[in-house]
Structure 1
Amino acid sequence: MLTASFVAISAIAAAGAAQAEFELSVYSGWQTSPHSTVKGDDPSGVGDFDFTAGWEGKSGSMPPYWGVRGIWWQSDVLGYGLDYSHNKVYADKDTLKDNDFETLEFTDGLNIITANVFRRFPGVTRDWTPYIGGGLGISVPHVEVETTGKRTFEYQYGGPAVQWVAGVSYPISENWKVFGEYKGTYSQNKVDLDGGGELETNIVTNALNIGVSFDF
């Protein structure tokens, strides 16, 4: 997953390096997720289910929450790029206990890949540059589900995803910047369970990120 993301970002860099500024960023931070409805069927275990799951992000636990992003700036204000984020959600203890699930999580991770448009606002302040962005893409979660039946433990295509971001960057040298931002994602995740069942949930994540960027 990570290799494919870097290959795609590098391809954008190669195509645009001769014509425009290319910015490569890495980030991490604190990521959470509000409750969402989980429904489906598990014929080898709990049968049909439909409940509201409480999610925990556990951003700093292994594997941690993080992301990488490449932006090809066409001008001082407009850019296009790709973003990969390794989001995570764990069902809390009450959710597991109340619904006879031993494990319900997307922790390696709830991987979101999006193609994005960015707008920055140079000159608003002397040194700080605000920016906003958004994009469309896909969710590729690592599905970890275990009930009284079989265990599902694999990467799957979940469904479509969107992201939105707003932040501010600060230059620390000619080519390097640091930044802080809020980033949100929404993804539809419909996955198969071992034993012939399926599980469906739409997940929102909210994150406060810090990161560093290098301009080519």
Structure 2
Amino acid sequence: MNRIFATSICVILATSAAAAEVELSFYGGVQSAPSSDVSIRDDDSIPDGDFSIAWEGRSLEAPPYYGIRATKWRSPEFGYGLDFTHNKVYPENDELPAGYDVLEFTDGLNTLTVNAYRRWSSAFGEVSPYIGGGVGVSVPYVEVANSDSETFSYQLTGPAATWIAGASYPINDQWSVFGEYKGTFSSNTADLDTGGTLETDIVTNAVNLGLSFNF
């Protein structure tokens, strides 16, 4: 379990302990990402460049794509909470710009956001549609390397945002299942071990299935 996930678990459980109506949710799914522009500036070993990389998610490969969230419902319709997502992006077909051996965010293009939600609990029988969105931070594991330089570290790289639409269905009084679309945006400025920087804005799209526990 990486440090980012462990820290998020602690924060979420602290939130849960202080709340009366809390929903703790776990999810996985299939996540992808469109191409993004990458800008690298460095005075030493990493080649400078502005280029576009086609990304892919490889959601089921280790470490898998997953997420966890805690939601406090202030009423049957409105809630808020924390959402941690372990997104991933690999260069499509492992195609890298010249001069790079590694350039990816595969141990997590992690985002932690504070979200607000609106649900409709009685309009469609037992099915409860919902929408949500929020803002927070991007904390990826930055992986950039060539024959002369290696950067492998968790970093706070910039702001993040998420948007969600889905529906849940109760199994019993405490457990429910849900399916949803979830998008994220992260604006990342990462420090390289040579003193240079990498900048890229990445959007991910995911179709999730999950399980929630209500208490």
* SS state at 1:16 partner: coil
Q: Structure 1 stretch 98-107 or stretch 150-159: which is displaced more?
A: 98-107
Identity in percent: 52
- Aligned pairs (5 A) from 1:69-108: 69-93=69-93, 95-96=95-96, 98-108=97-107
- Structure 1: 5+ residue runs without aligned partners? none
Code of the residue aligned with 1:199 in structure 2: it is L
2:11 is aligned to 8
* SS state at 1:127 partner: coil
Q: Distance in 2 between matches of 1:46 and 1:179?
A: 44
Deviation of 1:94 after TM superposition, in Å, equals 6.3
> Is 1:207 matched with 2:210?
no
1:158 is aligned to 157
Deviations 1:152-210 (A, max 9, x none): 11101110000000000000111000000000000011001111211000000000000
Q: Distance in 2 between matches of 1:94 and 1:61?
A: 14
Contact 1:44 1:150 in 2 (8 A): no
2:37 is aligned to 37
Q: TM-score, normalised by structure 2?
A: 0.95
- Structure 2: 5+ residue runs without aligned partners? none
* SS state at 2:10 partner: helix
Contact 1:44 1:149 in 2 (8 A): no
Q: Distance in 2 between matches of 1:142 and 1:95?
A: 20
2:141 is aligned to 142
> Is 1:170 matched with 2:169?
yes
Code of the residue aligned with 2:17 in structure 1: it is A
- Aligned pairs (5 A) from 1:25-64: 25-64=25-64
Q: Structure 1 stretch 73-82 or stretch 35-44: which is displaced more?
A: 35-44
Q: Distance in 2 between matches of 1:71 and 1:46?
A: 43
Contact 1:46 1:148 in 2 (8 A): no
Q: Distance in 2 between matches of 1:114 and 1:105?
A: 22
Deviation of 1:107 after TM superposition, in Å, equals 1.0
Contact 2:56 2:91 in 1 (8 A): yes
Contact 1:165 1:181 in 2 (8 A): yes
Root-mean-square deviation over aligned CA pairs: 1.2
Deviation of 1:7 after TM superposition, in Å, equals 1.5
